[in-house]
Amino acid sequence: MNEIYSPKTFPLNASELREVIKKFPTPFHLYDEGTIRKNFRRLREAFSWAKSFREHFAVKATPNPAIVKLLARDGAGTDCSSLAELLISEKAGVVGEKIMLTSNDTPADEFKKARELGAIINLDDITHIEYLEENAGMPECLSFRYNPADIMNAGNDIIGKPAEAKYGLTRKQIFDAYKMARDKGVNRFGLHTMVASNERGTETFLLTAQIMFELAAEIKNLLGIELEFINLGGGFGIPYRPTEKPVDFKAVGEGIKKLYEKILVPSGLENIAIATESGRAMTGNAGWLVSTVIHEKNTYKNYIGLDSCMANLMRPAMYGAYHHITISGKENAPLTNVYDVTGSLCENNDKFAIDRALPKIDIGDVLIIHDTGAHGHAMGFNYNGKLRSAELLLREDGNIEMIRRAETLDDYFATLNF
C-alpha cells in the first residue's frame, strides 16, 4: 500500500489550540520557529564542506520580518525580488551582501535601494547593466542569472523548459555581460541560476550544479574572471503528501561536493563560495492554515465551508496543489466521509480539497491545512473584498506571538476615494 514517508503533524493538541483560538480568532496561519530553524540547519549542514556557504532565504515565500529575523539569527541572508522585500530585509536587520537582489523587469527604485543597502545585485538581463549604471551607479560586485535553456533538457525531462522561461541571460550573453561589466569597473563577480521548483529529486540539483560549475570554469578560461560565488537558486521541494519523500539534503550536498572537487578545484577555482536561495524548504512545512468549519452543505456533493478562502491560501486553486487536511482532535478518527472543502469566494475553484476522504466533520470543528508556511499567506489577495488573515509564530519557548494582524475592513477601504 501507500507508504507514509512524511507524517503530517501539528504542534498543538486540540485543547491547546482551543485556548489559542480564544485569543486569536480563526482563520490564521501558524508558523513553528523550531521547525524553521531545523530546516535551515539541515540545508547548512549539507553544504558544511564548502569554504563558504550562504543561504539567502527567499523572502517572497514568507514575507514577514519576524521570520527573516529568526533565520538571520542562525546566519541566513535574504533573496529579495522587490522593493518591499528589500525593506523587509532591512527591517529584519539583514543588510549588505547578506542580501541578494534577484528580480526581473526591475524598476530603477529597486536598484537604487539595493545599492543603498549594499546588496549583491543579480542581473536578469544584459541590458540591465546600462540601466543599473544610469539609475543607480555601477557596484563593485555583480552577479548574473543564467538561463541554461535546452542544455537542461538534454536527456533529462525532470526540469521544465528553461528556454520558455522569461528569466536570465543566454549562454552567449553571459560571456558578453561579464566582459561589459568588467569594462565598467566591476571587479567581483557571481553567477546565479534558478531552474527547479518544488523539486524533491537529487538529480536535478546535481545537474544544475554541474552546469554552473562547468560554466564557471569556462568563464575563467575564456575571460580570466574568477567568480567569487555561485548561487544555485532555490526550488528545493517539500512532501505535500504524506506518501512523498522529502529532499535528501545529505545526498544533494555530497553530490555537489563531488562535482565541486571534480570541476572547480582542477580549474583553480577552489575558493568559490556556494549560495542557495531556498524559500519553500525553509518555511513550507513549518506553517499551517487554521480555520473553523462554518457550514456543511449537501447537494450533488458534500461541501464543508470554512471561514477562510483562497485569499488565505491560493495554491490548491491556482495549481491544483495538494495540501493535507486534518481535523483538530480527530487526528486518529477513521476517514469515513468524502468532502469538498471550500472557501467563500464566488469562484468555483475556491476549494482547499476536492473529493477528500476525511473523518466525519461537524460545524465548529477546527480544520488544519498543512504545509502553508511558504507561498501561502504571501500570495493572498483581496478579491471579493476578502481580507488576509493574521500570522502567528509559535516560539521555541512555547509562546505564541502575532507577527501580523489580520486585515480589517478599514484597511480595505483605506485606498478608496469616493
Ligand X SMILES: *Cc1c(COP(=O)(O)O)cnc(C)c1O
Q: Where does this chain bind ligand X (CB under 6 A)? A: 58, 60-61, 79, 81, 102, 194, 197-198, 233-236, 277-281, 374
> Least distance to ligand X from the beta carbon of 192, Å?
8
> Least distance to ligand X from the beta carbon of 308, Å?
22
> Least distance to ligand X from the beta carbon of 122, Å?
8
> Least distance to ligand X from the beta carbon of 254, Å?
20
Closer of 200 and 351 to ligand X (Cβ): 200
Closer of 199 and 350 to ligand X (Cβ): 199
Written as nine digits, the cell of 35 is 521547525
> Least distance to ligand X from the beta carbon of 113, Å?
17
Closer of 10 and 167 to ligand X (Cβ): 167
The closest of 226, 411, 192 to 311, measured between CA atoms, is: 411
DSSP-derived pairing of the beta strands 53-58 and 366-370: unpaired
Residue-wise DSSP of 251-283: HHHHHHHHHIIIIIGGGT-TT-EEEE--SHHHH
- Answer for the pair 322, 316: CB distance below 8 angstroms, yes or no: yes
Task: Annotate 133-164 with three-state secondary structure.
Answer: HHHHCCCCEEEEEECCHHHHHCCCCCCCCHHH
- Answer for the pair 256, 204: CB distance below 8 angstroms, yes or no: no
Instruction: Give the Å distances, CA to CA, from 309 to 111, 294, 295, 380, 403.
Output: 35, 12, 13, 10, 20
How many whole angstroms separate alpha carbon 275 and alpha carbon 262? Answer: 19
Closer of 283 and 308 to ligand X (Cβ): 283
The closest of 160, 122, 125, 158 to 139, measured between CA atoms, is: 122
> Least distance to ligand X from the beta carbon of 85, Å?
11
> Least distance to ligand X from the beta carbon of 79, Å?
5
Closer of 203 and 407 to ligand X (Cβ): 203
Cα pseudo-dihedral 407, 408, 414, 418, rounded to 10: 140
- Answer for the pair 67, 31: CB distance below 8 angstroms, yes or no: yes
- Answer for the pair 193, 208: CB distance below 8 angstroms, yes or no: yes
> Least distance to ligand X from the beta carbon of 88, Å?
15
Q: Which residue has the cell 476578502?
A: 386
Closer of 234 and 287 to ligand X (Cβ): 234
Closer of 55 and 307 to ligand X (Cβ): 55
Closer of 281 and 367 to ligand X (Cβ): 281
- Answer for the pair 110, 83: CB distance below 8 angstroms, yes or no: yes
> Least distance to ligand X from the beta carbon of 20, Å?
27
Task: Annotate 61-126 with three-state secondary structure.
Answer: HCCCHHHHHHHHHCCCEEEECCHHHHHHHHHCCCCHHHEEEECCCCCHHHHHHHHHHCCEEEECCC
- Work out the burial of residue 172: count CB atoms within 10 Å of its CB; fewer than 13 is exposed, 13-18 middle, 19 or more buried: exposed
- Answer for the pair 308, 291: CB distance below 8 angstroms, yes or no: yes
DSSP-derived pairing of the beta strands 366-370 and 325-327: antiparallel
> Least distance to ligand X from the beta carbon of 370, Å?
17
How many whole angstroms separate alpha carbon 386 and alpha carbon 367? Answer: 19
> Least distance to ligand X from the beta carbon of 259, Å?
20
Closer of 204 and 328 to ligand X (Cβ): 204
Closer of 6 and 81 to ligand X (Cβ): 81
Closer of 191 and 358 to ligand X (Cβ): 191
